[in-house]
Amino acid sequence: MLPKKQRIPRKMFPLLSSKEGTTLENELFNFKFVFSKEPNSRFCFSVSKKISKSAVVRNRIRRTSYRILSKKIDDIKVGIIAVFRFKKLPKNNDEIESNITLILKKLKTSFAKRNK
């Protein structure tokens, strides 16, 4: 689980649902983020009922994703507010990990473009 300072509070959800921000996609999920003035990056995972009707399955996917992201979060140096929205049910944990890694690589390239 991510520390509380790296999770998105409910009051910030409207910021991510607005048209502002940048969206990155891959086969497993959409990743929407906005740059923040805070030094800490904040993240959340959203798994809709369209993915699985079972809350147990949805919560397991979210917990696994948070655990994987917590290992890779040190790579992100800029403050962002971001949400991962799952598009389909992942086959296994390796699929989640590889897709999170791909999105974080895309995120680094968008940081590089922004700073030029």
pLDDT of 87 reads 93
83: in domain: yes
pLDDT of 13 reads 67
* Burial annotation 55-88 (CB, 10 A radius, 16+ → b, else e): eeebeebbebbbebbeeebeebeeebbbbbbbee
Entry pTM:
0.82
pLDDT of 14 reads 66
Q: Which domain holds residue 31?
A: 4-111
Name the E strands within the chain. 22-25, 29-35, 42-46, 80-86
pLDDT of 15 reads 65
Does the structure show a pLDDT above 70 at 95? yes
CATH of the domain at 92: 3.30.230.10
Residues 6+ apart with CB under 8 A from 73: 2, 6, 41, 43
- What is the pLDDT averaged over residues 61-89? 88
Please give the tally of structural domains in the chain. Answer: 1
